Amino acid sequence: MTHGVTTETTPPPLRVGLIGYGLAGAAFHAPLIATTPGLRLHTVATADPQRRARLAADHPRARAVDNAEQLLADPAALDLVVIASPNDTHVPLSRAALEAGLPVVVDKPIAATSAEARELTALAAARGLLLTVFQNRRWDSDFRTIQGLLAEGGLGRVHRFESRFERWRPGLKAGWRESADPAQAGGILYDLGSHLVDQALQLFGPARSIYAEIDARRPGARVDDDAFLALTHRSGVRSHLWMSALAGQPGPRLRVLGDRSAYTVHGLDPQEAALREGQRPGPGWGAPAESQWGLLGAGDDAAPYPSRPGDYPAFYAGVAAALREGGPAPVDPNDAVAALTVLEAARRSADEGRTVELPEVTR
């Protein structure tokens, strides 16, 4: 500092280690990290030659190592670890990173059981470290639009929320989604239900009870590929959630019914497709075309309602702010515990053919 002049220096970017460079790591986490101010993709753990070649092309400044052990061998070289590896590695790798003194972002589901998720959350709290879960669907265009409508009271008192992730994938594919290993948390309930339940709980609060129908309908399927969940929230709202790999004609993505109005939207948020195609966030990111706007109103008065842009970049911006400024995580890991508790209760409901009561949430 010179006399009468104050100079400020920009802190160096936070160095991010990414474990896994498959679809989640390469198409979602790496591009979002690389385009977030204050973050730098520093090291990526992947031994696959093709994935290494893709990494070198996509992020030439990032260092490649063979495995998580090598990435965690020098904790002082990193400021954050992101875990985008198979589901059965989420708990051991999160634990290893936290025990090394590093904050953690873990892809959903954080764990295969609520008990394991609760243990990780307690470990992070005991170490005073950030632990957060990549629940990117909280930043979908449709979800953000509903949040705005609820905040403005435009729907009146909501009594029913309907939400679907339905696909047409009649053939079986290899990978964890088709695995019957409980540690892999395969099947559509954990894959898509992790998002649907999280959204419902965020919008309408804790669930009091759940009824579920969960089936494996495709020939040769070893895990569930079609499910329906009916949640009754303590707020009085009922959430009906569908997920399917065998929906030749998907229903509305979201429908919210209130005593003053309703909102319905079809089609998926555009961000996932854009990331899969190699696009990166920039001007106009996440904004659906007008033809994809939902309808707001009742009866003949329903009309297109402008959608809020989707904003996946907000997740990592929140991570950076939490680490720099000590603020809250963009996704509280306790929310993941709550969602897993609901999914476990859904499984019991389907197995026993009854409605399952849920305990009150305490933190």
Q: How confident is the model at residue 221 (pLDDT cuts 50, 70, 90)?
A: confident
The domain segmentation of the chain, as residue ranges, is 14-135, 137-310+340-357
Domains 14-135 and 137-310+340-357 share a fold: no
Model pLDDT for residues 264-311, shown as the tens digit of each residue: 999 999 999 999 999 999 999 999 999 999 999 999 999 999 999 999
Query: Residues 56-73: what's their mean pLDDT?
Result: 97
Q: What order do you get walking across the sheet with 63-65 strand by strand?
A: 63-65, 39-45, 14-19, 80-83, 104-107, 131-134
Q: 111 near 90, Cβ under 8 Å?
A: yes
Q: Smallest Cα–Cα separation from 78: which of 52, 43, 46, 37?
A: 43
Backbone angles phi, psi at 107, to 5 degrees: -70, 160
Q: Write down the mean pLDDT value for the chain.
A: 94
pLDDT at residue 1 is higher than 60 = no
- Sort residue 138 into left (φ over 0), alpha (ψ -120 to 50) or beta: alpha
Average pLDDT value for residue range 160-167? 97
pLDDT at 176: 67
Instruction: Check residue 2 and give its pLDDT.
Output: 47
8 A C-beta contact, residue 359 and residue 120 = no
pLDDT in tens, 83-127: 999 999 999 999 999 999 999 999 999 999 999 999 999 999 999
| pLDDT of 74 strictly over 80 | yes
CATH number of 14-135: 3.40.50.720
Say if residue 78's pLDDT is above 80.
Answer: yes
Tell me which CATH code domain 137-310+340-357 carries: 3.30.360.10
Confidence of residue 189 (pLDDT cuts 50, 70, 90): very high
Q: DSSP E strands: which ranges in the chain?
A: 14-19, 39-45, 63-65, 80-83, 104-107, 131-134, 158-166, 207-215, 226-233, 238-244, 254-258, 262-265, 294-297, 303-305, 356-357
Q: Which region holds residue 146: left if phi is over 0, alpha if psi is between -120 and 50, else beta? A: alpha
